[in-house]
Chains A and B, each alone.
Chain A
């Protein structure tokens, strides 16, 4: 192999470690039953998997882990993602053998502990957002959205109202909202925002007619602000016969602050991996339960957990079981959703209790506003009013014309901070969406603010420092164009005949 190229490999792929014939021989028992002859005509020839020792495997994956940044390593103010502390105890409870070794197809009589947990969690999630029912089945926020939009569709179809073909979506929305609406067979109508970052009410009134099935909206908006006209928006959509979907991605601003169900929303999804701190796992697993009001509860994806026998004089505990809601949109996933995430969220909510849940959003919003006021003299804050749990600033300067949000993001890495979400929302030029979460101390925020100011000064005095950033990460800026052009997706190419 080319030695120069070899030197530029940080950690070989696992296939390139080890040696032909090497194996981990300690994992499997001897065969203890009389053997049957294998059906040779059905067998494969070869299996191209690594040939490594257990120590090779451990070192390889530990080295790879060290190339990652993570909440456990430092501040991660990634807007819209709620990168708060993931409590360690939640990992322990999810791994209790009575949960981790429980089979999803068992008879409910033998899974009463798991069903009790899910039933209670369904209730808490309905209560926290002011709804009457909840299904834990969706595996992620995007799947919760699909559930919600399919429920809205099924609701109209059930009433014989089949002419509603459009879903309204503000232009500040997460990309999942329009994508979800399309998946469910709807036409997406994008609504503009006004100068305050709120939905343009005139545009909404123009579009609100009997062809509207519903509207998807994020509260607070992806611009980090509470839409002042939210009640009016809900009324306009309801008046034209549409239903209101709340994207719950930003619930970390609303816990104990407002119940979306009380405001008039018909359905919303949670991201347990945001609001209730189940870990993001480097891109999943998540969990996206949906909560609904009475109007939609018969349409929930299922089955859901219900009490099938109330407690009586013989049994102190109720008997839980599975029920398919009467007009359910159906199953969204094999089995019952991401139960391991349900255990973590249960643990989190149980420990916080009413008092703790009430404290979360108050501190998340306090932290975001503190950053907003402290950065406003250095960075343009396009919607500089009281924000929710996140604040959007613009990552460019009049007196540093070559500097973009991307450069600021990469330079933050040199200071040991994960960049904010950049270039989203799409309607803010050079957007940097900053979400500190309630887990972070004033000291951490002060450090971040100082670094942001330092970078702003560097942008003017030494822009090359930003253009060439990051300097201290395992790799420097990567060539995304080359990746798409050469399309190497696999280190052991397979050719299908």
Chain B
């Protein structure tokens, strides 16, 4: 019962030292009428029994270990190399606290420094922080930076409707107590030109997703110039795997780059913990929230790392801090760092190419099925929109029950005028045989 090492003799000796007779006397300051309530919890269980119970719960799910996965929509079944889990299970990493004491935390600190460096290389930005909770909260924090950069006078944020619906919802939740307003995504059909028309001298930031929620690469050429001419910032929500192949947000003129790092070797894990990343230009670095690690030296001249620009943070700045964030996703930044090290210069591009090729093969096959059409008006990366001849949820139920396939995302849930459209994701983890099985299953489910 419990991980408590005390023997009866220990307790007796300690109570005697304190000068009380029983453990209960330690709680005399707690209101007596509420002291020691009954807890309606189950009886204790051994490790073995708990493992059985958890295994039964895990087995009651249909997961990608036994099903072919074609669902993406912001969380992706990419391959996580074996090394990552072995490194994550080093107790020195996962049972450490935030690196407040740099002499005891050089491992964690150097990992974060390397993660910041790789993220800058990946995005083409100049600076990055240690992480945020996920891609959605990174976007919410980017809004705070942009509003502060506009000296709290610019309070309008333009959101493309093609940004992940959860991200847009989280940005609104975070800022509901402030004067910041979000526009652009109401109809769900605004084009890039429509968004540009909304720019004015009250606009703090314009946000697009690249590739967008539908997997498409919109033509962002010239966008940054127009946003900057209006005195606003350009924020891009990005997929880090796509950046293995496509132009960097830096080249496209972004001021802030945020996104979800789950694709970098982090398991799906039903939605978390994931890895929000945040990169920007040097000129905004003092405005960003979250932990930042910098290089320095120790008293003996050895290179060392330490959390820096600390006066931005809540424990020092208190009510004047721009964010309350303290815990970030340190261990996941380690996972991302190991992933990018293993894949390296050549491997990340290869992952991206495999995704691209397999997605395009799948799209071509599905487009040939009777009743189906694939939207290819814009270039796409690893996800694409399929218009189906039957309701998406019916198709998905049949795929799951009869074919052991987890189908694509039902876009009608978030975009009413996209009812009947399915967003299919294909990654390097889907062999050709699985794609062919999906195509065949779709044919059978919708025939006659």
Contacts and interface: CB of A to CB of B under 8 A. Distances in A.
B108 A68 contact: yes
Contacts of B14: 366-367, 369-370, 442
Contact of A182 (B24, B97, B320): B320
B298 A477 contact: yes
B406 interface: yes
A301 B133 CA distance: 16
B97 A225 contact: no
A455 interface: no
Given A68-B92, A480-B296, A34 B361 contact: yes
B127 A441 contact: no
B296 A479 contact: yes
- The contact size tier of chain A is 35 or more
Interface in A330-389: 330-341, 343, 346-347, 349-360, 362-363, 365-367, 369-370, 372-374, 385-386
B209 interface: no
B344 A350 contact: no
B96 A57 contact: no
Contacts of B128: 489-490
Given A43-B245, A103-B270, A283-B97, A33 B330 contact: no
Contacts of B19: 373
B50 A351 contact: yes
B60 A78 contact: no
Interface in B324-375: 324-332, 334, 337-338, 340-351, 353-354, 356-358, 360-361
Contacts of A312: none
Given A330-B169, A347-B50, A424-B315, A259 B60 contact: no
Contacts of B341: 14, 49-50, 52, 57, 60-61
Contact of B393 (A13, A107, A180, A273): A107
Most interface-central of B113, B114, B122, B248 (chain A CB within 10 A): B114
Contact of B245 (A44, A69, A76, A369): A44
Nearest to B396: A107
B117 A490 contact: yes
A101 B409 contact: no
Interface string B72-95: 011101010101011101111111
Given A43-B246, A413-B103, A476-B298, A492 B120 contact: yes
Given A8-B302, A76-B97, A283-B99, A42 B10 contact: no
Contacts of A468: 299
A67 B272 contact: no
B54 to A, nearest CB: 4
Given A67-B107, A105-B75, A354-B43, A259 B34 contact: yes
Contacts of B130: 283
A372 B124 CA distance: 53
Nearest to A42: B246
Given A101-B267, A257-B35, A49 B298 contact: no
Interface stretch (A79-87, A201-209, A235-243, A395-403): A79-87
A97 interface: yes
A214 interface: no
A117 B114 contact: no
Contacts of B348: 47, 49
A339 B61 CA distance: 14
Contacts of B87: 58, 61-62, 65
Contacts of B66: 97
A47 B131 CA distance: 21
B97 A23 contact: no
Interface string A45-74: 001111110100110111011111111110
A354 B297 contact: no
Contact of B294 (A11, A105, A178, A483): A483
A484 interface: yes
Q: Is chain A's binding surface mostly helix, strand, loop or mixed?
A: loop
A439 interface: yes
Interface stretch (B153-161, B185-193, B225-233, B427-435): B427-435
Contacts of A308: none
Given A105-B73, A282-B94, A331-B169, A29 B431 contact: yes
B406 A47 contact: no
A179 B317 contact: yes
Interface stretch (A88-96, A289-297, A458-466): A88-96
Nearest to B48: A89
B164 interface: yes
Nearest to A118: B270
A316 interface: no
A279 interface: yes
A185 B271 contact: no
Given A28-B428, A140-B327, A496-B124, A301 B173 contact: yes
Contacts of B167: 334
B409 to A, nearest CB: 6
Contacts of B338: 57, 61
A283 B108 contact: yes
A256 B37 contact: yes
A284 B114 CA distance: 17
A89 B314 CA distance: 34
A27 interface: yes
Contact of B61 (A44, A72, A114): A114
A274 B285 CA distance: 30
A315 B349 CA distance: 48
Contacts of B104: 68-69, 413, 418, 473
B94 to A, nearest CB: 5
Contacts of A66: 92, 107
Contacts of A477: 103, 298-299
Contact of B271 (A85, A128, A335): A335
A449 to B, nearest CB: 10
Nearest to B89: A91
Interface string A265-286: 0000000010000011111111
B224 to A, nearest CB: 11
A72 B314 contact: no
A99 B269 contact: yes
Most interface-central of A44, A86, A111 (chain B CB within 10 A): A44
Interface in B288-322: 291-306, 308-310, 313-321
Contacts of B124: 494, 496
Contacts of B102: 475, 478, 480
A258 interface: yes
Contacts of B2: 352, 355-356, 359-360, 363, 438
Given A282-B97, A282-B330, A334 B164 contact: yes
Contact of A334 (B96, B166, B293, B337): B166
Given A23-B346, A142-B325, A13 B133 contact: no
Contacts of A84: 3
Contacts of A326: none
A29 B428 contact: yes
B125 interface: yes
A427 interface: no
A38 B356 contact: yes
A43 B92 CA distance: 39
A9 B302 contact: yes
B42 interface: yes
Contacts of B304: 475, 478-479
A307 B176 CA distance: 29
B427 to A, nearest CB: 11
Nearest to A24: B342
B445 interface: no
Contacts of B133: 139-140, 143, 284-285, 333, 338
A329 B174 CA distance: 9
Contact of B269 (A284, A340, A419): A340
- In order of increasing CB-CB distance, the 6 nearest A-B pairs are A335-B271, A98-B58, A113-B60, A104-B271, A72-B91, A185-B177
5 contacts: A38-B356, A50-B345, A54-B342, A103-B75, A496-B281
Given A188-B319, A285-B331, 6 more contacts: A44-B246, A49-B341, A97-B58, A226-B27, A370-B18, A490-B113
